[in-house]
Amino acid sequence: MARIAMIGAGSIIFSTTLLNDLLQTPGLEGSTYVLMGPTLEKLLKVEEYTKKIIKKNGLSAQVYSTTDRREAVKEADYVITMFQVGGMEAYKSDYFIPLDHGVDQCLGQCVGPGGVFRAQRSIPVFAGLMRDMEELCPNALLMNYVNPMAANSIGMGMTSDIPFVGLCHGVQTTMDLIAGYLREKKEDIDFVAAGINHMAWFLKLEKDGVDLYPKFLDLIERPEYYINDKVRCEVARHFGFFMTESTGHLSEYLPYFRKNQKALDLYCDQPGFGGATGAYYYFCDMLARKYDEVDYLSFETGDLTLRSKEYCSNIIEAIETKKIFGFQGNVINKGYITNLPDGCCVEVPMFADRNGLHATSVGRMPQQLAMLNQMNVSVQLLAAEAAIKGDPDLLFAAVAADPLTAAVLTLKEIRDMVADMLEDQRKWLPQYEGKTLSRLPIIETPPGTEGVEVPLDPALAIVHRFGKLAGN
């Protein structure tokens, strides 16, 4: 019988999905589920929903709610995180302030100014949670669903040795798409996917030893396929490999697709995650309003539905039983991808068994894919360090390194935007208390300004004087 703590369990859609999975997972009979979050009212709705399922299906599980994090994790075997610090109020700042400065985000959740600031809010919470776990459940496994996945994972790795894995569903849902396009059964396709979260790559697509990539790349040349995922298809056309997330996600990870209206009109003109501005913000806002107005969980029948595509329950099942389960996980790179830096977060094939979790080594990815990933790895490393140290200059550097932001704004414009966001979000950023980001003025060079004589090696001085005489 396991004790499972769910941190952020007031997240109604996600927590109920995981609970539906866990309550019917072999090996978890008689387990206790502790729902933790800052708002007891939301937790009690999820608790009531869960008890309805337990009663109707004759299950032996127990469930209760608490707003005390230490109580939740005490003696836990598994800790599952799904919180969002600042909620929609903070997310509004993540999206609209950059938009006012000229940075158009589709999601603003994992990269970009929004992703960097979400990391600033989340990483200190993880640090506190993992300190509690070190004291109260040092052998527990932490399974994280909180975004930005990569930056959060780096921050977690920097602050604690508690074992953790970051979980996402981009690979399994994209495999549905690929199998459907190829008219093949998903289970018949052998694949390898690796990279970073929301920007991993299908390195292999095979059936019975036959390479399926040529057929797939031919298909996405057709307008009826291309229009569904313009950015992902365009990147695959130029770099040779398909990515594991949506056009909306990938358009933010690279500098090519959202930098001006021409690019937006050409590549990000489809609704929702097809690239629309603010797509995920508006979707989350709609859901928040919907669930504030009506308690939809009160209409639930208590029936169990099929287990979802989320990995969480399958991982626990594998650990609790003799079943082996393969999945994609986000972990700290320790040579798993050799041309990405150790210490960053990578998404690689893994498997779970009774001995725990095991990441597999991918080796060297095609260098062009590592290059595209590295654009965002630098952002993630800087964002994590900034969040831990509460350093405004590192925070600025993280946003300045962001490919989309750098494609749109000058350094001064980036600094001003970061300063505005820092001031707007202070109540969720205690590590920045009493700290500001200086706003540097523009240095004017009036007409006729003569530069001072440059002290150079004699040979270089000749070149310098020649350049000035030539008007260069």
**Which strand (E) or helix (H) includes residue 70?**
helix 69-73
Instruction: Name the nearest CA neighbour of 254 among 403, 36, 394.
Output: 403
Task: List helix spans (H) across 78-188.
Answer: 87-101, 112-136, 149-159, 170-182
- Rounded CA-CA distance 465/319 in Å is 72
The CB-side HSE value for 129 (13 A sphere, CA atoms) comes to: 33
- Rounded CA-CA distance 217/286 in Å is 36
- Rounded CA-CA distance 212/205 in Å is 5
**Which strand (E) or helix (H) includes residue 3?**
strand 3-7
169, 225, 226, 296: the catalytic one is: 169
Helix pair angle (112-136, 367-389), 10° resolution = 60
Phi, psi angle pair for 144, to nearest 5°: -105, 135
253 carries an active-site annotation: yes
The total number of residues shown for the chain amounts to: 472
Structure tokens at 251: 């358009």
Phi, psi angle pair for 37, to nearest 5°: -175, 175
> For the stretch 116-143, what's the b/e string if a residue is b when 16 or more beta carbons lie within 10 angstroms of its beta carbon?
bbbbbbbbbbbbebbebbeebbeebbbb
- Rounded CA-CA distance 319/355 in Å is 7
* Distance set, CA 161 to CA 127, 131, 136, 158, 332 (Å): 11, 10, 14, 8, 11
- Cα 333 from chain centre: 16
Instruction: Name the nearest CA neighbour of 154 among 126, 135, 117, 194.
Output: 126
78, 95, 145, 253: the catalytic one is: 253
- Rounded CA-CA distance 221/233 in Å is 8
* Distance set, CA 439 to CA 38, 387, 419, 442, 452 (Å): 35, 20, 7, 10, 26
169 carries an active-site annotation: yes
Handedness of CA 40, 41, 42, 46 (dihedral sign): positive
Task: List helix spans (H) across 208-340.
Answer: 213-219, 223-226, 230-239, 247-253, 261-267, 279-293, 312-320
- Looking at the annotation, which residues are catalytic? 169, 253
